[in-house]
């Protein structure tokens, strides 16, 4: 006899593993393509002021390009002088999130953002472990302000955290 509860858990695990895999593979693939096809030298592409590949220029004052940038620290290069400490802290945080995800009785709508955050964090840990730095590629310029360059993993982490914040906000308002 098949236990319905275990079937539901297996389906949930498959869904979470699917989203985890999509985020991690997309992150690794975009970084690989950036590493091997876009020069890290900002002056390599003479026709574009930031190097890299322009996606759109001056669209309502916004510019977007794919560049090859490296970051030895975390956001905005913080803790770049302590790469081993930062790597260990990232690993501990990932393990802590995985333990929380496994132990807490969370609904899928709360598990999914955690899985996306974990996948993004793991993508950056893979970079730091293999390359000694994180590869960033998305560069935006908003009306002359150069936003810090980021990658797919950073976007996944941001989206996961934002979704958790929004979920917790609506949960509190419905109580």
Task: Tally the domains of the chain.
Answer: 1
Question: Residue 82's domain spans which residues?
Answer: 4-174
Q: Is 127 a catalytic residue?
A: no
Predicted TM-score (pTM) of this structure? 0.85
Q: Which of 27, 41, 127, 136 is catalytic?
A: 136
Question: Cα angle vertex 54, ends 139, 160, to 5°?
Answer: 35
Which one of 27, 41, 127, 154 is the catalytic residue?
154
84: which 2 tokens? 């081993």
**Residue 58 CA to its chain's centroid (Å):** 26
pLDDT bucket at 157, cuts 50 / 70 / 90 = very high
Angle at 12 between CA 156 and CA 89, to 5 degrees: 40
Report the range of poorest mean pLDDT among 18-22, 112-116, 127-131: 127-131
CA dist., res. 73 & res. 84, Å (int): 10
């Amino acid at each position: 006899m098949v236990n319905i509860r275990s079937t539901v858990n297996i389906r949930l695990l498959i869904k979470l593993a699917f989203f985890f895999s999509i985020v991690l593979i997309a992150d690794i693939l975009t970084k690989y393509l950036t590493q091997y096809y876009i020069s890290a030298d900002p002056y390599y592409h003479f026709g574009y002021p930031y190097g890299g590949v322009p996606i759109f220029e001056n669209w309502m004052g916004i510019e977007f390009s794919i560049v090859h940038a490296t970051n030895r620290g975390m956001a905005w290069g913080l803790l770049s002088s302590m790469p081993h400490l930062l790597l260990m802290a990232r690993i501990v945080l990932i393990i802590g999130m995985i333990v929380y995800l496994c132990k807490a009785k969370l609904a899928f709508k709360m598990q999914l953002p955690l899985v996306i955050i974990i996948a993004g964090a793991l993508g950056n840990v893979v970079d730091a472990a293999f390359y000694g730095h994180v590869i960033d590629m998305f560069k935006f310029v908003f009306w002359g302000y150069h936003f810090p360059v980021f990658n797919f993993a950073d976007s996944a982490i941001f989206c996961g955290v934002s979704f958790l914040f929004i979920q917790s906000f609506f949960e509190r308002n419905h109580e």
